[in-house]
């Protein structure tokens, strides 16, 4: 399926607040997105944010400046909290955290919401998720859970040791999770993040694919906080080698969390195979997987809801694609990961945080000049 086979959606071009996306400034990205070009194109998936921005000037631990937040992803929305999904995870480099993955590896299932925040708030995001879930699942489960909470480090812009993310902020993100078009850039857990030494953060994209006679959607959400400026590559053009001023981080630090969703019928081991394709999309943007980076990925399938809702003691009947039919899904993961990372920078603005630290937005005019020079537009 090609981009020419469907009319362009306005959501491909700009975020709900009007920030231009990569396609909106003319980048010829491959593949056909869903209507929102977001992880929420996978029916039932809901995303919510809590964004904390306050204070300026010198760092005063416990007071600010604050540049952080929480992102929440509900795989089956609010109405499907009690129904697991087939799932798998993969870590390219493990200098980071994603809770709950030991059970996902064991069971091949994801049965909790996913939250993403800063490194020092990962624990409270996990614990708050349990507190949020308990009254909503009474009578449906054994009242226990191992939620997924993931993190990247925002301490270059944020008072990360001030512990400003609270239980209430996690609840806000979970309560506010919705389908539809998504804001991107400096929102939610991505608020204080930096990507290739440009302002990074939250990004999302999707692809519509056909395989085994069926049409499916692959959606990706990233929290991008990785890479050195000179490594930044967009559609083959060495953008970072031509925009060299205003470096803030200048060192191989940071991480990326990537969540992949699909409505294609998969088993847990096949979801893991999708997660293992994420690094190929990262590599298209210049990533090498620095040793100090936590590059951790989770993939899940929303198919087979009736089977996963079947209680123990009964036989489950699960549909599943053949492994040989997964190639279009792999391509969708790679393309959507690449676009989500690019959008996390393009749909963003310059941010000044603690101690006057300034992370510049990727300048659209300079980007397009470089792309034109290399014949990439």
What tokens appear for 111 in the block?
Answer: 């049965």
Based on the residue annotation, tell me whether 255 is a catalytic residue of this protein.
yes
- CA–CA distance, 219 with 302 (Å, rounded to integer): 11
Based on the residue annotation, tell me whether 224 is a catalytic residue of this protein.
no
Give residues with Cβ within 8 angstroms of 253, minimum separation 6.
153, 290, 292, 293
Report residue 307: phi and psi, to 5°. Answer: -65, -45
- CA–CA distance, 317 with 337 (Å, rounded to integer): 31
Nearest to 122 by CA among 257, 267, 235: 257
What tokens appear for 24 in the block?
Answer: 């909106």
Q: Which helix (H) or strand (E) holds 122?
A: helix 122-137
Cis amide prior to 65 (ω within 30 degrees): yes
- First-residue to last-residue Cα distance in the chain: 21
- CA–CA distance, 182 with 12 (Å, rounded to integer): 11
- CA–CA distance, 234 with 292 (Å, rounded to integer): 23
Nearest to 284 by CA among 326, 331, 325, 249: 331
CB 64 within 8 A of CB 49: no
> Catalytic: which of 121, 293, 301, 359?
293
User: What are the helix (H) ranges across the chain?
Assistant: 101-107, 122-137, 167-175, 268-275, 278-284, 305-309, 327-346, 364-373
> Catalytic: which of 156, 197, 295, 343?
295
> Catalytic: which of 186, 255, 344, 359?
255
**DSSP string of 139-166?**
TTS-S----EEEEE--TTTS-GGG----
> Exposed, middle or buried, 144 (CB in 10 Å: 0-12/13-18/19+)?
exposed
Based on the residue annotation, tell me whether 344 is a catalytic residue of this protein.
no
> Exposed, middle or buried, 311 (CB in 10 Å: 0-12/13-18/19+)?
exposed
- Over its C-alpha atoms, the chain yields an Rg (Å, rounded) of 19
| Catalytic residue annotation | 255, 293, 295
């Amino acid at each position: 399926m090609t981009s020419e086979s469907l009319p362009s959606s306005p959501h491909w071009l700009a975020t709900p607040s009007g920030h231009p996306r990569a396609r909106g400034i003319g980048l010829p990205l491959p593949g056909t997105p869903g209507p929102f070009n977001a992880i929420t194109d996978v029916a039932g998936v809901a995303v919510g944010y809590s964004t904390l921005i306050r204070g300026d000037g010198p760092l005063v631990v416990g007071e600010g400046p604050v540049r952080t937040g929480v992102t929440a992803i509900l795989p089956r929305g609010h109405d499907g909290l009690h129904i697991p999904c087939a799932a798998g995870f993969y870590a390219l480099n493990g200098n980071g955290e994603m809770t709950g993955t030991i059970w996902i590896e064991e069971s091949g299932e994801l049965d909790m919401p996913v939250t993403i925040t800063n490194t020092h708030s990962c624990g409270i995001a996990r614990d708050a998720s349990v507190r949020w879930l308990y009254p909503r699942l009474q009578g449906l489960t054994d009242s226990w859970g191992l939620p997924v909470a993931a993190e990247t480090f925002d301490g270059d812009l944020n008072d990360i040791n001030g512990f400003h993310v609270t239980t209430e902020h996690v609840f806000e993100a979970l309560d506010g999770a919705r389908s539809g078009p998504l804001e991107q850039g400096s929102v939610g857990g991505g608020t204080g993040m930096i990507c290739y030494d440009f302002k990074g953060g939250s990004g999302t994209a999707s692809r519509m694919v056909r395989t085994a006679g069926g049409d499916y959607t692959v959606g990706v959400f990233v929290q991008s906080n990785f890479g050195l400026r000179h490594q930044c590559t967009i559609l083959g053009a060495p953008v970072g080698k031509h925009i060299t001023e205003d470096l803030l981080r200048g060192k191989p630090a940071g991480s990326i969390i990537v969540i992949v969703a699909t409505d294609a019928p998969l088993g847990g081991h096949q979801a893991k195979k999708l997660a293992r394709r994420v690094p190929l999309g990262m590599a298209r943007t210049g990533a090498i997987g620095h040793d100090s980076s936590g590059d951790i990925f989770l993939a899940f399938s929303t198919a087979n809801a009736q089977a996963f809702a079947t209680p123990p003691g009964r036989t489950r009947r699960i549909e599943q694609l053949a492994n040989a039919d997964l190639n279009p899904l792999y391509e969708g993961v790679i393309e959507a990961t690449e676009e989500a990372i690019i959008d996390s920078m393009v749909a963003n603005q310059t941010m000044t945080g603690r101690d006057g630290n300034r992370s510049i937005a990727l300048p659209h005019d300079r980007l397009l000049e470089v792309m034109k020079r290399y014949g990439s537009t």
